[in-house]
Chain A
Amino acid sequence: MTTSTSTERPGAAAVTATAAVPGHPGAPGGARSGAAAARRLRGTGGRWRRAVTPLAILAGWEAASRAGVLPPTKLTAPSQVLETGWRLAADGSLGQHVLESLTRAGIGLGIGAALGLALGALAGLSRLGDDLIDPPLQMARMLPHLALVPLLIIWIGIGESVKVTLVALGAFFPIYLNTYAGIRDIDQRLVEAARSCGLSALDRLRHVVLPGSLPSIFIGLRLAFGAGWLSLVVGEQVNAERGIGFMIMEARDFSQTDIVVLGLVIYALLGLASDLILRSVERRALAWRRGLTAT
């Protein structure tokens, strides 16, 4: 898992920058330990105790704003942010921006995930694929993909494609690495047992290799979601005309801190929602692991 931590770190940094939302699970790695801690404490009233500090911070922030300690030009009160959110949602502009950002994220993640799965499977399953595909990708992995922005702008301009490309690049590596590792880590004794049951190579792929690598692929997906959102944030600061990033950049020009903070909250909520959805899909797809953790 040393491979995944390198992609995890920028995700965690992005989340702390937008951590105005109480209970945000943070980067996928942190989310799991957080969830485990919550499960341990549940039933002792610990779940509510965990909400105390975030709520206190929010209340302090609100009080400081009202008392005039925090000038609205630097940071608006949470209530003001909420109000602005309500207004922009009502006139439909917020929905449009969110939809725009979601579309970019969706297309980019789709492309990155498809490529990561395909190449990871090729490298994981065949020795030839491993030798041809893995070395260049291991080298490219060391390059922070966000540093490619200037080069990407020269290559493909400042339109939609650069934003989608950034998201796809961010999502690609965690999925590639974890698909590859998931396939390589499969217990060969299970493959042998399946072979002794008369399963063809294709059937072994379907019944042993795919389900066996699924837990690792899900880890890759969650890391990819984190990296994808981060890439979107950076990409949308490059000449966007729509989307949450554009909304934030435009508000900055007019010093509308309420809209800037609103944008950050939306980013955080989108990350949280996507992680929750992915986790519920994972719970269903990996139901067999519940028996393992229960014993």
Chain B
Amino acid sequence: MATRLDSDLITGRGIRRAFGDTVVLAGVDIAIRPGEVVALLGGSGSGKSTLLRVLAGLDDDAAGEVTGRGRTAVVFQEHRLLPWKRVAANVALGVPGTDVSARVARALAEVGLAERGAAWPAELSGGQAQRVAVARALVREPDLLLLDEPFGALDALTRLKMQALFNRLRAEHRFAALLVTHDVDEALLLADRVLILEDGLIAQESPVALPHPRAPDDPGFGGLRRALLARLGVPASPDQH
């Protein structure tokens, strides 16, 4: 057990969080290993984002124990770029070191926005702004990436492109990631393991043993998809009642 804990990148034990009388997290245990992508599924209001914020160290009022090592970076559902800083300055925000501008340029190139460093965030499209947010996380060379519905606000086509970008970056940098999402397909396309958060606890954990590259029409994908949707209480097809 001890060796297992040592190898985990981040461990949360007995995480509790209540807003007033509403208990959102009722003692969650979670562990993420290096290089592993974990998808966190759950209904709306199930506390997925709350759990992510606790793991990111952004929630001062949560109880429980979180131990982590290595560098962590967060990508939110909204891009959350500072509108008064140009794109490059946004990516460089809080990055220590001497070769910051070169690293920023590299990160922007990796998300395909090498030319937009001097633009204001307001001049970018939604997809571009979200790619800058990814670059802002990448430049920190994270061991663990915390993603809070990162592609949820994008249109369907842009979302597919972003998912492909994520898989490419992940293959290259081998970071671990916790991906909060409400999209079962996205979880199955990107994750090695899927967790379902329900009633404030991790209700189910299932590995996704599909080979990369994955596509929704792969054999085995549909079965996993139906099982997860059933677990979430959603009919797998709108024709089902």
Give A contacts to B, CB under 8 Å: 189-190, 192-199, 203, 207-208, 211-212, 214, 286, 288-292, 294-295
Question: Which one, B39-47, B71-79, B166-174, is touching chain A?
Answer: B71-79
Contact of B123 with A194 in the complex, beta carbons under 8 Å: no
Instruction: Verify A207–B82 contact, CB threshold 8 A.
Output: yes
- The A interface, classified by DSSP as helix, strand, loop or mixed, is helix
Interface residues on B, range: 20 to 34
Instruction: Considering the complex, give the chain B residue whose CB is closest to the CB of A212.
Output: B84
A208–B84 alpha-carbon span in the complex (Å)? 9
Ordered by A's residue number, 30 sampled pairs between the chains whose C-beta atoms are within 8 Å are A189-B76, A189-B78, A189-B80, A190-B80, A190-B82, A192-B58, A193-B74, A193-B76, A194-B93, A194-B94, A195-B58, A196-B56, A196-B73, A196-B74, A197-B73, A199-B94, A203-B94, A207-B82, A207-B85, A211-B82, A211-B84, A214-B84, A288-B84, A288-B86, A288-B120, A288-B122, A290-B120, A291-B119, A292-B83, A295-B122
Partner of A208, one of B58, B82, B123: B82
**In the bound complex, what is the Cα–Cα distance between A270 and B140 (angstroms)?**
51
Nearest B residue to A189, CB-CB: B80
Least CB separation from B80: chain A residue = A193
Residues of the A chain whose Cβ atoms lie less than 8 Å from the Cβ of B74: 193, 196
When distances are taken between beta carbons in the complex, the residues of chain B under 8 Å from A211 are 82, 84-85
**What are the residues of chain B within 8 A of A197 when measuring CB–CB?**
73, 93-95, 136, 140
Which A residue's beta carbon lies closest to that of B79? A193
Q: Compute how far the CA of A214 lies from the CA of B82 in the bound complex, rounded to whole angstroms.
A: 13
B: residues with CB less than 8 A from A are 56, 58, 73-74, 76, 78, 80, 82-86, 93-95, 119-123, 136, 140
Shortest Cβ distance from A293 into B: residue: B122
Residues of chain B within 8 A (CB-CB) of A195 are 58
Total A-B Cβ pairs within 8 A: 61
Docked complex Cα distance between A94 and B122 (Å): 48
Q: Roughly how many angstroms separate A40 CA and B120 CA in the complex, as a whole number?
A: 25
A192 surroundings in chain B (CB, below 8 A)? 58, 80
Given contacts A193-B76, A211-B85, 17 further A-B contacts (CB under 8 A): A190-B82, A192-B80, A194-B82, A194-B93, A194-B94, A196-B56, A196-B58, A197-B93, A197-B94, A197-B140, A211-B84, A286-B84, A288-B86, A288-B120, A289-B122, A291-B122, A292-B122
By Cβ-Cβ distance, the 9 closest A-B pairs, closest first, are A291-B122, A193-B80, A197-B94, A291-B120, A196-B74, A211-B84, A198-B94, A292-B122, A288-B84
Assess whether A199 is in contact with B123, with CB atoms less than 8 Å apart: no
**Residues of B with C-beta under 8 A to A286:** 84
Shortest distance between the CB of B74 and any CB in chain A (Å):
4
In the bound complex, CA of A194 to CA of B80 (Å): 9
B127 to chain A, nearest CB (A): 15
Chain A residues near B140 (CB-CB < 8 A): 197-198
Name the B residues within 8 Å of A196 (CB-CB).
Answer: 56, 58, 73-74
Residues of B within 8 A of A295 (CB): 122-123
Q: Give chain A residues whose Cβ lies under 8 Å from the Cβ of B136.
A: 197
Q: Which residues of B contact A199 (CB under 8 A)?
A: 93-94
**B103 nearest CB across to chain A (Å):** 14
Q: How far is the CB of A130 from chain B (nearest CB, A)?
A: 19
A288: B residues at CB distance < 8 A = 83-86, 120, 122
What residues of B have a CB within 8 angstroms of the CB of A193 in the complex? 74, 76, 80, 82
